Structure 1
Amino acid sequence: MTLLSDIIILEIQGFSDPSKVVFHQKFFKTGIGEYGEGDQFLGVKVPELRQITKKYWKDITAFEIKKLLDSPYHEVRLAGIFILVQKYEKSKNEKEKEAWVDFYLDNKSAVNNWDLVDSSAPRILGAWLHDKPKDLLYDLARSGKLWDQRIAMLSTFYFIRNHHFEDALAIAEILIQHSEDLIQKAVGWMIREVANRDLKTGVDFLELHWKKMPRTMLRYAIEKFDEELRQEFLKRK
């Protein structure tokens, strides 16, 4: 019997474009010592992945999703993430949702680049924890593991969209002096999203913490401020 995961992989391979592989390797920092070291690419575009996964997500099993997530190829893992998000969001009840959250956490080692995190963390973990204790996110933020920390920060995007800012800013504070560019950008991005919805809350947070923030984080946080306020913060660094 042919597994749906095998069909999906074959269809993804059918869209492979070798001319894009080198670009993806550079863009996702796959060189020695870089955050995506060793990741492999087929050169497939995101719309093509969505086109494929849209056909199969309803019928695919957890076992087959895991096969996608275990792939050495970035695009195959991303396809698995797209399917997993659909499985979670279309679940019929809380028990099903919880099972998919547990599956996500059990396989988060496959969520090992920024697009994989950003496509999944808010829509699965953030959505699930929105009305529940959030200790897990604080544990991930303090883990010292790059992708776990980005998962923690990006999960709060769901809370922010629902105008709940406390946990997002508390996790931002934990990560405020992070040395990795990807975390600096994620933290700055979430502060910006808070400020977009409540400027005073965002500015108050920045007034307390701007001295400790790397410049990249600050620039991301104030990107949408009016020019006068943006320049006021930039001149401080």
Structure 2
Amino acid sequence: MPDPTSSAEIVACLKALADPADKAKTAKRIPSEQVIGVRMRAVFDLAKQSMRVPLADVRTLLRSDWYEARLVAVSILDFRARAKRLSDDERRALFDLYLAEHQYIDSWDLVDRAAPRVIGTYLIGRDHAPLFTLAGSASVWERRTAITAAFQLIRAGDLDTPIRLIDMLLEDPEHFVQTSVGTALRELHRASPETTRDFLARNGERLSSTTRRLMRDSRAASPRSGA
């Protein structure tokens, strides 16, 4: 089968791949969504086959009512952002599209699929102000994007902004922000155990139970011990 060349062809492929068993599984996991019922591996494979579709079609997919269509869209953005030979203008176009259509990136897995490389990688060596704007948003998914994108900064050795974002969101009331904060602390610990110990010594009492659990699971030092 030829690679899809438009959003309409991608949706048609998704519907051809539909399976009632997969629809039931996906609907149980994300009950508020309209789902077609396609295995995640098949969704990702389709996104790889569709990497060259115009960004206008990616935008159309992001605005789709179908969960799997939006997942294809963010996966295309992620796969493109991974490319080594990508111009600054091309990376900026991916970054701008993600932010412009963020209202449709409305679940934890859609955020996690693209935020690190589309947002985080683009901002390495650039002004990090967009992350602080996102972190101050009323949208839980925009706040999750801010802290999830920061994973890439940590991996690049830039710890200042991630620490500020962790501090900003450490007491966030939303579970889906807290889980990303915990993961950010885990990444920070891998990059610099000493920096993490210092942060926890000062802020350990502010950690939620979710963040504490993630830190324990990663074998990071307990904030209670100050270690």
Letter in 2 for 1:183: V
Letter in 2 for 1:85: D
Correspondence 1:111 to 2:105: yes
- Residue by residue over 1:10-55, the C-alpha shift from the partner in whole angstroms, topping out at 9 and shown as x without a partner, is 1111221222333323323x3xxxxxxx322222122101211222
Displacement of 1:222? 3.1
The residue number in structure 1 matching 2:58 is 65
Q: State the distance in 2 between where 1:155 and 1:93 align.
A: 20
Quote the RMSD (CA, aligned, Å): 2.0
Gapped regions of structure 1 (runs ≥ 5): 31-37
1:31-42 matches, within 5 Å, as 38-42=32-36
Letter in 1 for 2:21: S
Of residues 153, 160, 168, the one that matches 1:166 is 160
- Residue by residue over 1:105-156, the C-alpha shift from the partner in whole angstroms, topping out at 9 and shown as x without a partner, is 1111121111111111110110111101111101110112100000000000
SS of the residue 2:217 aligns to = coil
SS of the residue 2:69 aligns to = helix
Letter in 2 for 1:72: D
Correspondence 1:4 to 2:6: yes
The residue number in structure 2 matching 1:74 is 67
Letter in 1 for 2:67: H
- Residue by residue over 1:54-75, the C-alpha shift from the partner in whole angstroms, topping out at 9 and shown as x without a partner, is 22212x1122111111111111
Displacement of 1:3? 5.6
TM-score, reference length from structure 2: 0.90
Q: State the distance in 2 between where 1:84 and 1:150 align.
A: 17
TM-score, reference length from structure 1: 0.86
Cα contact 2:95–2:118 (8 A) shared by 1: yes
Of residues 141, 144, 151, the one that matches 1:147 is 141
Letter in 2 for 1:84: L
Q: State the distance in 2 between where 1:5 and 1:65 align.
A: 7
Displacement of 1:86? 2.8
Correspondence 1:225 to 2:219: yes
SS of the residue 2:18 aligns to = coil
Q: State the distance in 2 between where 1:222 and 1:129 align.
A: 30
Deviates more, 1:161-170 or 1:83-92: 83-92
Cα contact 1:196–1:224 (8 A) shared by 2: no
1:44-59 matches, within 5 Å, as 44-58=38-52
Percent sequence identity over aligned pairs? 25
Of residues 183, 187, 199, the one that matches 1:189 is 183
The residue number in structure 1 matching 2:21 is 19
Deviates more, 1:214-223 or 1:107-116: 214-223
Q: State the distance in 2 between where 1:175 and 1:201 align.
A: 18
Displacement of 1:4? 2.0
Cα contact 1:88–1:101 (8 A) shared by 2: no
Letter in 1 for 2:134: L
Q: State the distance in 1 between where 2:152 and 2:56 align.
A: 28
SS of the residue 1:222 aligns to = helix
